Structure 1
Amino acid sequence: MASTQERWCVVTGGRGFAARHLVEMLIRYEIYSVRIADLGPDIKLETHEEKGNLGQALRLGRAQYVSMDLRDKSQVNKACEGAEVVFHMAAPDSSINNYKLHHSVNVLGTKNVIEACTKYNVKRLIYTSSPSVVFDGIHGIYNGEESMPYPSKHNDSYSETKAEGEALVIKANGVNGLLTCCIRPSSIFGPGDKLLVPSLVAAARAGKSKFIIGDGTNMYDFTYVENVAHAHVCAERALASDGSASKKAAGEAYFITNMEPIKFWEFMSLILVGLGYERPKIKIPATVMMPIAHMVERVYKILGPYGMKVPQLTPSRIRLLTCTRTFNSAKANDRLGYSPIVPLQEGLKRTIESYSDLRAELLPRKEGPSKAAVFLGNGLVADTLLWRDRRLTLTTMLGLVVFYFSFVLPGTTMITAISKVLICASIFLFVHGKLPDHLLGYTFEKIPESKFNFSEEMTRRTALSVASSWNSAVDNLKSISSGNDWMLFFKMALSLFIVSWIGSISLANFFVKVIPFTFVAFYIYDRYEDEVDRIVKTVFPIERLSNPDVLRLLNPFKPLDKHD
């Protein structure tokens, strides 16, 4: 075997999810010394890396780290100089639909890599592409083959620019002796992923994993991360082979999968159930979710510059979650000699085991009453609206229905309706009081007078509550008048708007719309408090805005002073 000190390969984006596995595999195979190129100024190893092959290779000089930004031609040249092979795996976050960013990295950055390869006589370039380069976001793909053309319009800017980068790499094949090919791994998963499993667990803990978007029958090809690394090695070895084999492999793109298609939502369920969470069951049509996703995307475009996090619910993501996307890896098997080395079920098992810290039983339990219960006073009203005493809730609802049909629906005024209720209550209490304790074998429990009286303690608490509410309102008005508390201002404005809206509707509409909404809203908030809070903070991130930010929102055309 040739000395590895004299033969170098480069892995761009070498600290990414799949790239780390490729680096480990290359170090184990000892064909090349490995130059890890990534954005960070230096490499920060995790504990298992420090003690493992990577840490040892860095100490022995069989691996080295180079800080590199693909958009900086001089840094790319420095990383590629003296290398025999380049594995170009670097790419920006695909969840951010930012065309300018994606074009600068996936297209212009890839041009820099190609130019560096031809300048320094690099022999082989393997580009990590994506199956999404042939996905239009509308039509599903079943057993897709590499002969599929690029669509006229892609699902998002990431897919569009990856397709441009892929085309550049294929076109560069044969330039100055450079051999190239493109790998299209489908839906990578495995240990070390910081997106798929953590996002699933976060959704499960927020109560969102119960939902299936679409009919749940769409098929998918997932690829275990070690198989992705193995495919890159297979591609490099095929290009390095002599004669017709390398010519047959070069200048082509290849779909890489585990060759075991599975229903998308079944795969997600296996991960969730494996970690102790509930399997998704409730189906929501994509046609219902898509308008919401468009609205969220528009809100992000407005509030993104002011600190709003990238939303998970976007139109492109919904299309990905609801379409069939399976691909044929026969070409990779034939020309690269690729076949999965880790079966799907084994990959799932290893993945689940690697996230033992995210298991459901380790979820911290909430103590104390919910915010909804505190807001409602943690008493009879809370027990009714939050369904804690189902008998009381059902009785209240029945009473409201009777009241609606008896007094509201006929079109009586509020005063007339209340008068009729008091008359009926008086007749009931009079008859109830006149009934004997025992009649025809039945016992009638009398309502004690104490039920109608306010005790001294209750009177004192009520008076204190009224006084406290008054003082709190005064303090809030003082704070608003100072002009410093924007969050309080928005809260009060919203509250007054809700009160004015309720006051403007008729009694019939109040019973038909407001009361049912109140029961449902408080029940949902009580059950999914964290999720609702997270959504509100994401869509309306007012508490994270400084005063200059708010001023910019209110008057975007007025320049701020330098001291702001």
Structure 2
Amino acid sequence: MAAPDSSINNYQLHYSVNVQGTKNVIDACIELKVKRLIYTSSASVVFDGIHGIFNGNESLPYPPKHYDSYSTTKAEGETLVIKSNGINGLLTCCLRPSGIFGPGDKLLVPSLVAAARAGKSKFIIGDGNNIYDFTYVQNVAHAHICAERALASDGIVSEKLQGSILFSLMQAFFLTNMEPIKFWEFVSQILEGLGFERPRIKIPAFVMMPIAHLVEWTYRLLGPYGMKVPQLTPSRIRLLSCSRSFDSSKAKDQIGYMPIVSLQEGIKRTVESYSHLRAENQPKREGPSKALICLGSGQIADMLLWKNKKQTLTAALALIIVYYNFVASGYTIITAFSKLLLATSIFLFIHGILPDKLFGYTIEKIPISHFHLSEDSSHQFALSVASSWNTGVQVLQSLCKGNNWTLFLKVVFSLLVLSFLGAISFRSLFIIGFPIAFLGFYLYEKKEQEIDAMVLNVLTLGCKLKSDAARKFTSFKKND
């Protein structure tokens, strides 16, 4: 029954368990004269990852090439088990459950919830009509008991069929809940049961396929340098848009298997077992917020994120005073800056001549070190300026060659944005920037997940419009 995580496409890992590990078990059974061996295989052993399967039975051959390492090695392990039947009195049987789900699952439901929380579960890949067969975990366990009983009574086949091709075919059994369902309807019921929205935006598989190929190609190129294994791959797109249904009649007739838990009851029990993953039970954020990472962990972050309310209110009051005295009056940036420096100089001069105590209050003097720029800081600042200058020169050199269109478009776009910002008055910038600085970062830190979800909804709408446009364009070309 052992197998590595099927989502990890590592051939050596799967081979070590599904093939070599199975061989070790078979050898031990033969040596110790074990009479019955049941191998938990997978319905994926007959799936090539491209062509759909409708009500497939055990006569389906292995495909010339499987779509992942898990399926390849499960098929190899299954072959070993079938070939070992009859050796030293060993009776074997292979069970091929399709889409196991239920309490304790660490792959299907957690991955669906993770996608829902990331806002990715709104999408349906394909037309949403692909049919799947799922099997509740208790039914899989029950099938193992049925198979063991059949082997114990030697009731699967007669001795006349020993060693024949028909005998080999009869050693594998597809297991399902015998209730085919649309794949995306099953996903919807799980998500809806946990309080998330049903997938509703259909994206044609052909629209996603070029993107998936590009992602896979990028991973092959950058994988050795630390790029994470992508979720969006061509095989995954096909898996989510193909039909995979199987006929369990043989398991019913040969080993007496019948589901003891219905599909709807299985979904109900599964949803109830994952109450901790419900939509309202949002996980606590681990590590610093994005706002804190953006601002750094210094005084500015404490001030703008309201960590130190006294400091925040003081800074806000000071900026309001600056606004009404230097910005609202309509001064140019240079005039406002010079007047601000004049006011600062007068304040520092008066502050400097005041005594240490006045009317019983202690006046803290501003130390000279606050205005001192260390040699290291000066050096770093100079290096930063020089680096920025050299980068600009390199960009100009690349532009002069006239063969880098991507760089040209980036420069043009950056200058257009800069010209747009330059057209905004200093007063407008202050009015926009002040609330963003003192309220925007604070609100984003408190409502990070909700705001991210809103942004994702906007992007989702864009994707929907794009997919609709692609669909209309395709239908227009077909009509032509």
TM-score range, shorter chain: 0.5 to 0.7
Whole-Å separation in 2 of the counterparts to 1:458 and 1:170? 86
Structure 1 unaligned runs (5+)? 1-88, 378-448, 482-488, 517-524, 533-564
Matched, 1:504 2:382: no
Give 1:256's aligned residue.
175
Q: Helix, strand or coil for the counterpart of 1:361?
A: coil
- Counterpart of 2:473 in structure 1 is none
> What is the alpha-carbon distance in structure 2 between the residues aligned to residue 502 and residue 462 of structure 1?
42
> Is structure 2 residue 126 aligned with structure 1 residue 218?
no
> CA–CA distance in 1 between the matches of 2:329 and 2:77?
78
Matches within 5 A, 1:193-272: 193-242=105-154, 252-272=171-191
Task: Tell me, in whole angstroms, the C-alpha distance in 2 between the residues paired with 1:175 and 1:515.
Answer: 82
**Contact 1:238 1:246 (C-alpha < 8 Å) held by counterparts:** no
Deviation sequence 1:389-440 (CA, Å, 0-9, x none): xxxxxxxxxxxxxxxxxxxxxxxxxxxxxxxxxxxxxxxxxxxxxxxxxxxx
Q: Give how far 1:108 is off.
A: 2.3
Alpha-carbon distance in 2 for matches of 1:453, 1:515: 20
Deviation at 1:312, TM superposition (A): 2.1
Identity %: 63
The CA distance in 1 between the partners of 2:52 and 2:378, in whole Å, is: 57
CA contact (8 A) 1:240 1:246 kept: no
Quick one: distance in 2 between partners of 1:157 and 1:281? 32
- Secondary structure of the 1:92 match is coil
Q: What is the DSSP-based 3-state SS (H/G/I as helix, E as strand, rest coil) of the residue aligned with 2:280?
A: helix
SS at match of 1:91: coil
Q: 1:505 to 1:322 in 2, by over 3 A?
A: closer
| TM-fit CA distance, 1:313 | 2.1
- Displacement of 1:294 in angstroms is 2.9
Secondary structure at the aligned position of 2:39 is classed as strand
Name the residue aligned to 1:358. 277
Deviation at 1:451, TM superposition (A): 7.4
Distance in 2 separating the partners of 1:457 and 1:227: 80
Query: Residue 287 of structure 1: which of 174, 185, 206 is its match?
Result: 206
Alignment of 1:35-114 (within 5 A): 89-114=1-26
Residues of 2 paired with 1:230 and 1:177: CA distance? 25
Runs (5+) with no aligned partner, structure 2: 162-166, 301-326, 345-372, 400-404, 421-448, 458-480
- Whole-Å separation in 2 of the counterparts to 1:243 and 1:356: 43
Tell me if 1:172 matches 2:84.
yes
Distance 1:357 1:460, change over 3 A: farther
Q: Deviations over 1:319-357 (max 9, x none)?
A: 211100000101001111101111111111111111111
User: What is the distance in 2 between the residues matched to 1:117 and 1:478?
Assistant: 71
Describe the superposition over 1:492-537 as per-residue Cα deviations: whole angstroms up to 9, x where unpaired: 989x979988983499978999999xxxxxxxx96359989xxxxx
Partner-residue secondary structure (3-state), 2:58: coil
The 1:103–1:244 alpha-carbon spacing in structure 2 relative to 1, beyond 3 Å, is closer
Paired residues for 1:272-311 under 5 Å: 272-305=191-224, 307-311=226-230
Q: Partner residue of 1:80?
A: none
**2:238 alignment partner AA:** R
Aligned pair 1:527/2:439, yes or no? no
Please tell me the residue identity of whatever aligns with 2:182. K
Secondary structure of the equivalent of 1:362?
A: coil
Q: Which of the pair has the greater relative contact order for Cα pairs under 8 Å at 6+ separation? A: 2
Number of corresponding residues: 352
Write out aligned runs for 1:184-199 (5 A): 184-199=96-111
Query: Which TM-score applies when normalising by structure 1?
Result: 0.53
1:291-320 per-residue CA deviation (whole Å, 9 max, x = no partner) reads: 332333344445545554433222222221
Q: Go from structure 1 to structure 2 and tell me whether the alpha carbon gap of 1:365 and 1:256 turns closer, same or farther (over 3 Å shift).
A: same
Match for residue 50 of structure 2? 138
TM-score by length of 2: 0.62
Residues 340/510 of structure 1: CA separation in 2 closer, same or farther (3 Å cut): same
Aligned ranges for residues 439-478 of structure 1 at < 5 Å?
450=328, 452-453=330-331, 459=337, 475=380, 478=383
Is contact 1:102-1:158 (8 Å) kept?
A: yes
CA contact (8 A) 2:155 2:254 kept: no
Q: 1:113 to 1:319 in 2, by over 3 A?
A: same
Where 1:111 maps in the other structure, the secondary structure is helix
By how many angstroms is 1:233 displaced? Answer: 1.0
* CA–CA distance in structure 2, aligned partners of residues 473 and 321 of structure 1: 57
Distance 1:112 1:473, change over 3 A: farther
| Amino acid in the other structure paired with 1:265 | W
Question: Do the aligned partners of 2:156 and 2:254 also contact (CA within 8 Å) in 1?
Answer: no
CA contact (8 A) 1:186 1:222 kept: yes
Structure 2: how far apart are the matches of 1:173 and 1:527? Answer: 56
What CA distance in whole angstroms lies between the structure 2 residues aligned with 1:476 and 1:181?
Answer: 73
Question: Over residues 108-135 of structure 1, what are the superposed CA-to-partner deviations in whole Å (9 max), with x where a residue is unaligned?
Answer: 2222221211111010111111111111
TM-aligned CA distance change 1:241 to 1:296, over 3 Å: same
Equivalent residues of 2:14, 2:73 under 8 A apart: yes
Q: Which residue of 1 aligns with 2:36?
A: 124
Bigger shift: 222-231 or 311-320? Answer: 311-320
In structure 2, the CA distance between the partners of 1:508 and 1:363, relative to structure 1 (3 Å rule), is: same
Deviation at 1:96, TM superposition (A): 1.8
Is the alpha carbon distance of 1:175 and 1:509 closer, same or farther for their aligned partners in structure 2, counting shifts above 3 Å? same
Query: CA–CA distance in 1 between the matches of 2:382 and 2:137?
Result: 58
2:105 alignment partner AA: D
Task: Label 1:137 to 1:244 Cα distance change in 2 as closer, same or farther (>3 A).
Answer: closer
Distance (whole Å) between structure 2 residues aligned to residue 166 and residue 157 of structure 1: 14
Specify whether residues 336 and 295 from structure 1 end up closer, same or farther in structure 2 by C-alpha distance, changes over 3 A only.
same
| Partner Cα separation in structure 2 for residue 204 and residue 280 of structure 1 | 9
